[in-house]
Each structure stands twice: as structure tokens, then as C-alpha cells.
């Protein structure tokens, strides 16, 4: 067992089984948020790498072993998260943890067969959450292709509200106007809650000016978003077709979703056996057996005319090169899936369209659960998203009890700087609040902030 440098526990006591890419990302986030983390893995070098980087404990062994879990301290653990490369091992780790200790358990499950039974597995095994990174990434990609001018689309209030991120083009009506002028220039029911310019992000006020080249985030009721985009002369119709390179799990999940939305799908996959499987699983898709990195094949299959292009190979470098190639040849909406986080700053400088990081999607869901578990009972975190490369958090709280923020006009609340109440969801009605509106028990409330680590709604107060 590798000893932590500091024996004083902080936050929740959490065991992470699996020190791969997802596990390492989770450990970084959980340590940053002040939790007492122990990792389990059969690979000693991966454990050493993480224990050298962070103030955590490591145990070498099989995470599904009773004795290994006991050595890791399962009896006093609040939460076990199993993110190994095996779905079966993850489910077994959680099952044993639930039998041995009164702790919550989260499993990563990626196989489509299991993913169709997530509700059943979660209920029967008593799991807090089952997370599927490829499926969650595919859902985010599908939301973007439904609104292709968006860089990011994040759902809130069970899909009734969405937070949209897009770049203001040259000559657009938004260029040079302040947020206070927006309602007089454009019929809208939106609230702009973030502006990025020259690498700096601000939570805007009414006097904030928007300019061409800015990346802005706005929140609105889902039904009104397309009208707003049309009113500012930005294309808001979904793509008609897409070309996917690679036929793995993420490609299957994405293609299934797009076909359900009425979008034509062409998949190029090198492995013949996998092509045959996909032909059976996705009879309405066109499956091409070939090398998706072959420029001549891409040309033959119509890359220059396709409306959207999504490289989903297993290699970040290939995905990036394919995206840049597609941008040269066509006006297609491109989405780039990237697994590694080490070069995010470099990637941000490239023109890669919408960039999806499945590992971050996974960690966001788990961090939201962990914060809610640590918080007091007067509010709970429903949804959490990181925006602008993690510099801004958008958090949806459910208001379960009266507190220092309820029944007081927002204009009278002493909010911290760089905190914005973006919407109030009251009985299914999305309210974009004014200073006279107040938060009430039973609402869910979305907060956008540059602060990190809010666990409960009262954290917005000074």
C-alpha cells in the first residue's frame, strides 16, 4: 500500500478502481475538490504515477477482490467508482462494495448490450449511477448536429432548457451591441451568460458588449432557441447527412441517434467483420469497408458535399488530421472527439469545430453526484457542466428547503462577483429572471460562475 503524504481526510472518502485515462481524470478532479482518494489497479506503475502526482493512497490488486477492497478501506468509504476497461469487472467491483460496506457505487459501462439495460442494472444492483462515456459523447454530438452552428449544446431542466455556445460571425447583428441593447435589436427570450474574447472569459453584465469573434454562451427555453438563431441570421436547421470515420462504440451510438432524428448516416470502417456487424445493427445506415484516412476514398464517398463530418477513430492525431482535411475540402460541420487532455491549449488554437472530450463528460456527471452527496439537504445538484475549457461552471440546483436565498428578490441577494442566476425552472416553466424574481422552494435554478466547487445554492452568496 502506498501511503498518502497527509493523513488528514477532507471531503468524502472515495475509492477509484482503474487508473486509466478516465480514472486519472477523475482523480485529478476529486483531489482538486478536496476529497480523500484511494486508487486501486493491477498496474503498479500507473498507481505510482498517480500517487506521485497527487496526495492520495494506492493499492495494487484486483478491485473486485474483497481483500483488496478491505485493504483500500472500503468499510469507511463513502463512494466507490469503478472505471476499469471491463464492464463486467466494474459491475462486480460495485456489487462487492455494496455487500461489504454501506457506500454508494458508480460503474462505467460501455457495451451496447448492457447500456440498453442501464435502468434495470442500476436498480437491481443498487448503484448510484451507471455512466457510459461513449453514449454520453454521442448524445452531445447529436445535439450539436441538430443545431450545427453551435459549438456546444448542454441540456438543463430535463431538456426543457439548453445552454448554447457559438462564435459570433463577422458582420452579425450582435457585433458591437451591449446585452442591454439586445432585446431592442432582436426579439428574444435568451440570457447571455458567458463571453470569451482573446482567451479571457467573463460573466457579463448589461453593459457588456459583444463583438465578432467572441464565443458566447446563452441559455433559453429549448423551444425558443431556433427562433433566436434565425433572428440573428444564423443557420438553425439540423444537418441532413453525416459521414462518420470509424465504427466503434461511439460511432454506433451516434449513428443510432442520428438515424432516429432523420439524418442520413455513412460510416467508413476498416475492419470487415465490424462492417458486417454494423450492417445488421444499423440497417438504415450506409456502411463502407475501407480506410477512412485515405484521401481518395473520402473524395469518392463525397466528403466535399457532406453536411457534417465526425472522425471517431481511436487515435486523437487521426481525428484531428481528418477534421482539418474536411475543413479544407468542404463547408461541413465538423466535430472532433479527443481522448487525451494533455494538449488542450494547443487544440484550442486549431480550427477543429466542436471538440468533444468523453473523459470530461464522464467526470462532470460524477463530480455533480459527489458534490450533491457532500452538500447539505436544503439543495441538491441536478446537473453540472464545465464551459470555456473548464474556466466556467454551469450548475443546476434543486431547491428542496427554505434557505438564505429563497423568497428574496434576486436584486436584494448579496451575490458573489462573477455569479449569474441564469434561469429558474418552476413547475416546468423556464423563467429568465429579472431582479424582482425570487427563488422558491420546489424550483430548480441554474447558476453560471467562474468560481469552482459550489456544493449548494447558498455558495452563491458573499
We report the CATH number of the domain holding residue 378 as 3.30.70.1450
The pLDDT, as a whole number, for residue 376 is 56
pLDDT in tens, 181-212: 998 888 778 999 999 998 899 999 889 999 99
Note whether 194 and 276 are same-domain residues: no
Q: Residue 31 in 3-state DSSP?
A: helix
Note whether 299 and 400 are same-domain residues: no
Q: Contact 271/265 with Cβ under 8 angstroms? A: no
Note whether 27 and 106 are same-domain residues: yes
Domain count, the chain: 4
The pLDDT, as a whole number, for residue 5 is 37
**Domain for residue 4, yes or no?**
no
Grid cell digits, residue 58:
494506492
Report CA 158 to chain centroid distance, whole Å.
15
Q: Which of 29, 28, 34, 42 is nearest to 12 (CA)?
A: 34
Note whether 96 and 182 are same-domain residues: no
Is the per-residue pLDDT at 406 higher than 80? yes
Note whether 181 and 251 are same-domain residues: no
**Domain span holding position 95:** 13-131
Domain boundary among 89, 104, 131: 131
The pLDDT, as a whole number, for residue 374 is 77
Note whether 327 and 422 are same-domain residues: no
Note whether 127 and 33 are same-domain residues: yes
The residue written with cell numbers 443498487 in the block is: 126
pTM passes above 0.75:
yes
Domain boundary among 231, 259, 274: 231
Is the per-residue pLDDT at 330 higher than 60? yes
DSSP string covering 408-430, please?
SBGGGS-BPTTEEEEEEEETTEE
Domain boundary among 209, 231, 253: 231
pLDDT in tens, 103-125: 999 999 988 888 788 888 888 88
Q: Contact 411/436 with Cβ under 8 angstroms? A: yes
Is the per-residue pLDDT at 226 higher than 80? yes
Note whether 342 and 376 are same-domain residues: no
What is the mean pLDDT of the segment spanning 176-181?
Answer: 92
What is the mean pLDDT of the segment spanning 297-319?
Answer: 94
What is the mean pLDDT of the segment spanning 393-403?
Answer: 92
Q: Contact 179/205 with Cβ under 8 angstroms? A: yes
Q: In this structure, what CATH number is given to the domain that contains residue 345?
A: 3.40.50.720
What is the mean pLDDT of the segment spanning 151-176?
Answer: 92
**CA–CA distances in Å: residue 349 to residues 309, 344, 345:** 20, 9, 7
Give the integer Cα–Cα distance in Å for 376 and 372: 8
Give the integer Cα–Cα distance in Å for 422 and 278: 42
DSSP string covering 301-362, please?
TTTTT-SEEEE--S-HHHHHHHHHHHHHH---EEEEE----TTHHHHHHS--SEEE-HHHHH
Note whether 247 and 352 are same-domain residues: yes
**Domain for residue 236, yes or no?**
no
pLDDT in tens, 363-383: 888 988 888 887 655 568 888
Is the per-residue pLDDT at 7 higher than 70? no
Amino acid at each position: 500500500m502506498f501511503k498518502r503524504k497527509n493523513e488528514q481526510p477532507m471531503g468524502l472518502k472515495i475509492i477509484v478502481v482503474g487508473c486509466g485515462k478516465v480514472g486519472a481524470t477523475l482523480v485529478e478532479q476529486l483531489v482538486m475538490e478536496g476529497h480523500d482518494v484511494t486508487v486501486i489497479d493491477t498496474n503498479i506503475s500507473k498507481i505510482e504515477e498517480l500517487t506521485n502526482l497527487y496526495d492520495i493512497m494506492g493499492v495494487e490488486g484486483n478491485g473486485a477482490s474483497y481483500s483488496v477492497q478491505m485493504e483500500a478501506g472500503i468499510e469507511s468509504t463513502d463512494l466507490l467508482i469503478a472505471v476499469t476497461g471491463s464492464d463486467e469487472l466494474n459491475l462486480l467491483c460495485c456489487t462487492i462494495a455494496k455487500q461489504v460496506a454501506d457506500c454508494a457505487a458508480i460503474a462505467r459501462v460501455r457495451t451496447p448490450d448492457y447500456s440498453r439495460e442501464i435502468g434495470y442494472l442500476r436498480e437491481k444492483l443498487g448503484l448510484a449511477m451507471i455512466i457510459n462515456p461513449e453514449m454520453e459523447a454521442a448524445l452531445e454530438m447529436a445535439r450539436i448536429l441538430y443545431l450545427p452552428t453551435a459549438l456546444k449544446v448542454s441540456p438543463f431542466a430535463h431538456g426543457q432548457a439548453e445552454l448554447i455556445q457559438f462564435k459570433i460571425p463577422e458582420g452579425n447583428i450582435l457585433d458591437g451591441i451591449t446585452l442591454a441593447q439586445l432585446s431592442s435589436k432582436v426579439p428574444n427570450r435568451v440570457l447571455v451568460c458567458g463571453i470569451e474574447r482573446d482567451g479571457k472569459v467573463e460573466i457579463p453584465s448589461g453593459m457588456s458588449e459583444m463583438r465578432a469573434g467572441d464565443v458566447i454562451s446563452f441559455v433559453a427555453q429549448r423551444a425558443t432557441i431556433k427562433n433566436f438563431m434565425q433572428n440573428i441570421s444564423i443557420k438553425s436547421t439540423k444537418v441532413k447527412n453525416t459521414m462518420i470515420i470509424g465504427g466503434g462504440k461511439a460511432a454506433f451510438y451516434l449513428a443510432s441517434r442520428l438515424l432516429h432524428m432523420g439524418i442520413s448516416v455513412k460510416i467508413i470502417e476498416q475492419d470487415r467483420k465490424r462492417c458486417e456487424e454494423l450492417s445488421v445493427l444499423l440497417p438504415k445506415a450506409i456502411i463502407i469497408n475501407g480506410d477512412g484516412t485515405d484521401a481518395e476514398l473520402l473524395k469518392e464517398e463525397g466528403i466535399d458535399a457532406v453536411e457534417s463530418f465526425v472522425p471517431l477513430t481511436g487515435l486523437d492525431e487521426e481525428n484531428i488530421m481528418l477534421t482539418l482535411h474536411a475543413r479544407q475540402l468542404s463547408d461541413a460541420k465538423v466535430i472532433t472527439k479527443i481522448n487525451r487532455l494533455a494538449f488542450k491549449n494547443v487544440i484550442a488554437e486549431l480550427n477543429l469545430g466542436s471538440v468533444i472530450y468523453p473523459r470530461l463528460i464522464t467526470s462532470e456527471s460524477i463530480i455533480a453526484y459527489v458534490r450533491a452527496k457532500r452538500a447539505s439537504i436544503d439543495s441538491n445538484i441536478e446537473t453540472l457542466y464545465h464551459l470555456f475549457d473548464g474556466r466556467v461552471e454551469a450548475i443546476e440546483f434543486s431547491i428542496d428547503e427554505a434557505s438564505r436565498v429563497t423568497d428574496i428578490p434576486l436584486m436584494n441577494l448579496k451575490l458573489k462577483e462573477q455569479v449569474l442566476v441564469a434561469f429558474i425552472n418552476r413547475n416546468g416553466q423556464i423563467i429568465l429572471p429579472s431582479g424582482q424574481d425570487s427563488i422558491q422552494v420546489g424550483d430548480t435554478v441554474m447558476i453560471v460562475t467562474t468560481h469552482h466547487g459550489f456544493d449548494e445554492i447558498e455558495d452563491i452568496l458573499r
